[in-house]
Chain A
């Protein structure tokens, strides 16, 4: 009997139309738990580094988390893993909603897609019955519209759908996969489009066994109230009308300049009015009491869903008034475009036009206002028309394709990927490390357990530490010593980066939402799930007892395996450079030291490669053997 998991993956070859239900190795669950961890193992085994992302040999994997479909509240994030044409590296994203639990009830832990469908298709999974169906009639349809049309066509109102919009169909690199109130970004939608898969539709009615049901239910049930009452978790900023934080701290335009002072009481008041007028309701994800997603209805446009980050990012990128944002999101959500990178790509095009690099020949009848320009550009991008064909490849590639000095305007990408448009004053040690070394490409997927700011008042600081159940002891000591506007020590910085990323690797294996754990320790320090209470949930669900140390070890194993995927595709120390202007004041000597110390702490070579000792110690012998065979590691296994 397999507990908490189904023990089966669905293997689909879209080229040949072959569908198989394949039993998985329970040992892999012990080693990696599930989700991103076991997906990483499949990518390692089956996608050698020679495989181009736009190749039928590339895999696109949808993974449930180990705790999906158990009573544990807030376990609902589905991971999507593949290789990205933008970075030529590992690509990973997650989406909430209802998809993962439904897939598990259909009897599968993962969907592993390979090949490329001969024509636009969708996959229909109804328990044991799985078929690839024609989707040519859905060509060009919006992502959520597609979901509604398929449910109608199949007469399956209860089915869960993950779909791409026009952006994904046209292999736009910023394409998302949209599902209910959530979306997956960071380079996975483009691969779904390359595979000519318009949607995956799931309906599942089977049971999932857990090892100790009564015990698991007993600790899960109080979590509803604990999560609901905890004001430090969920998407806390989504509910605020005071957008000062985002508007003042994030750079406007193409990640170009901060616009401090734009936000004021008058705008806040008007923003509240606008938002209340378009909001239908707050919605939540499967079995979670937090309502993080707004359902938005702009007159004349289709309903869409939104989280805090995209609230004003398009308006800021376009230098537009706040009224612009909800209207424009209605367009981008249906096309299926990522709200992090797309605003920067569109703003980048405007910068190039203003610099004379793009001309009226490239952009005939280019409108005057930022907002109108965004509407104009987004059409070019999603249809890959004219200069939109280059822009659809993201800022890094577009800059090089356009040339004529456009490279200089690519100032906010790292590892060829657009970063969050944060331009700050003084370098921050732990953040330098998180940006430089993260495999998940977006800082929000790396940061989150250790507080972002120190507490000035010593008494308050002590109080904070006293109730800081989520933190290992060493962090309490460092936090108590941390004075505002000072840097944590190198040792502390390395550990902070390590703790932050480890918690994400755990969440992304078991499927718990980062808003309830890995992202939510940094403000308030009281995430409902943490390294000390998660083991009990996992142990009761699976029947295999893990403690905090063992769980940390699994996070470390997954982190190193994912690292190895990128190392094998060529990632090295030289690539681990946050954008030059990310901080105004840099400290090259300290940055070198930080990176060296971090690598040492991680058991990696000074080039950022996990050593043989590290890999073998984690049971990743097959990785070290491969590294030796390829000459990535030398026989001495050391530096």
Chain B
């Protein structure tokens, strides 16, 4: 690693979440799934959304969380957080696509979904979920930080890796080779 890399500046995009402001309308889920549908806007299916509102209405828990990384195995998930006298399960703050729950998996294939901050050409002013969050539970911020650029992986690669975790690389390679020969 060179010194130049270390001092490289990059823009980090952030979605800030104010739990007290969330009204639980799930417009963020609708807009996210619409934007990421192929063709774009062809589906508004919350099951495909990369942001979900974790609901526990009897305990006043409304937590929008964004899809993060994929993990093949679930964690112990044993923490319970008490904030302002309200109890939150650890999972309520976790954006990982994991086997313990249905969030952030394509309903058809089970492949993991990940928030990409609506990166697109031309770029959006703000991610879609933030645009439709009129109550400002979600707000958008950009900040400049120093540090090396981390190469972001494409969605397909994330999916491929999860397939490999499930079936083993050899099986996946064999299948790809076989299928591409046919094509």
Contact = CB atoms under 8 A, between A and B. Distances in A.
A284 interface: yes
Given A157-B55, A208-B43, A216-B41, A283 B23 contact: yes
Contacts of B42: 207, 209-210, 213
B43 A288 contact: no
B45 A208 contact: yes
A181 B41 contact: no
Given A221-B131, A221-B132, A281 B62 contact: yes
A207 B43 contact: yes
B20 to A, nearest CB: 7
Given A158-B102, A217-B41, A73 B27 contact: yes
Contacts of A485: none
B57 A303 contact: yes
Contact of B25 (A158, A210, A281, A289): A289
A303 B54 CA distance: 17
B58 A70 contact: no
A298 to B, nearest CB: 13
A285 B25 contact: yes
Interface string B22-61: 1111110011001001011111111110000011111110
A408 interface: no
A291 B135 contact: yes
Contacts of A144: 57-58
B113 to A, nearest CB: 12
A526 interface: no
Contact of A224 (B20, B57, B101, B134): B134
B107 interface: yes
A283 B20 CA distance: 11
Nearest to A181: B57
A144 B58 CA distance: 8
Nearest to A223: B132
A510 to B, nearest CB: 16
A280 B42 CA distance: 36
A562 to B, nearest CB: 30
A98 interface: yes
Given A144-B58, A289-B134, A297-B60, A70 B26 contact: no
Interface string A208-229: 1110011011000100110110
B67 to A, nearest CB: 15
A71 interface: yes
Contacts of B48: 207
A305 B31 CA distance: 26
B25 A287 contact: yes
Interface in A288-315: 288-289, 291, 295, 297, 302-303, 305
A213 B30 contact: no
Contacts of A227: 134
Contacts of B43: 207-209, 213
A338 B131 CA distance: 37
A284 B25 contact: yes
Interface residues of B, number: 36
A114 interface: no
Nearest to A98: B26
Nearest to A293: B23
A282 interface: yes
B89 to A, nearest CB: 10
A282 B23 contact: yes
Contacts of B102: 158
Contacts of A214: 39-41
Contacts of B30: 71, 287
A594 to B, nearest CB: 41
Interface string A169-180: 000000000001
A281 B20 contact: yes
Contacts of B25: 283-289, 291
Contacts of B55: 157-158
A280 B41 CA distance: 34
Interface in A70-125: 70-71, 73, 98, 105
B34 A148 contact: no
Contacts of A98: 26
A205 interface: yes
B92 to A, nearest CB: 10
Nearest to A288: B25
A341 interface: no
A287 B135 CA distance: 12
A412 interface: no
Given A205-B107, A284-B25, A291-B23, A70 B44 contact: yes
A305 B58 CA distance: 10
Given A206-B45, A207-B45, A217-B41, A302 B58 contact: yes
Given A70-B44, A98-B26, A217-B34, A228 B134 contact: yes
Interface in A345-398: none
Contacts of B131: 221, 224
Nearest to B39: A213
Interface string B121-158: 00000000001101100000000000000000000000
A214 B44 CA distance: 12
Contact of B57 (A208, A216, A228, A283): A283
Contact of A288 (B22, B27, B31, B41): B27
A180 B45 contact: no
A148 B132 contact: no
Given A283-B24, A289-B27, A180 B57 contact: yes
B23 A284 contact: yes
Given A224-B27, A283-B23, A295 B47 contact: no
Contacts of A207: 42-43, 45, 48
Nearest to B107: A205
Contacts of B134: 224-225, 227-228, 289
8 contacts: A204-B47, A207-B43, A209-B42, A213-B39, A224-B131, A225-B134, A228-B135, A281-B62
Cβ-closest 10 pairs across A and B: A205-B47, A205-B107, A228-B134, A284-B25, A217-B41, A284-B23, A289-B134, A213-B41, A291-B23, A280-B60
Given A206-B107, A213-B43, 13 more contacts: A71-B41, A144-B58, A145-B58, A207-B45, A213-B41, A216-B41, A281-B22, A283-B57, A287-B27, A289-B25, A289-B27, A289-B134, A295-B60
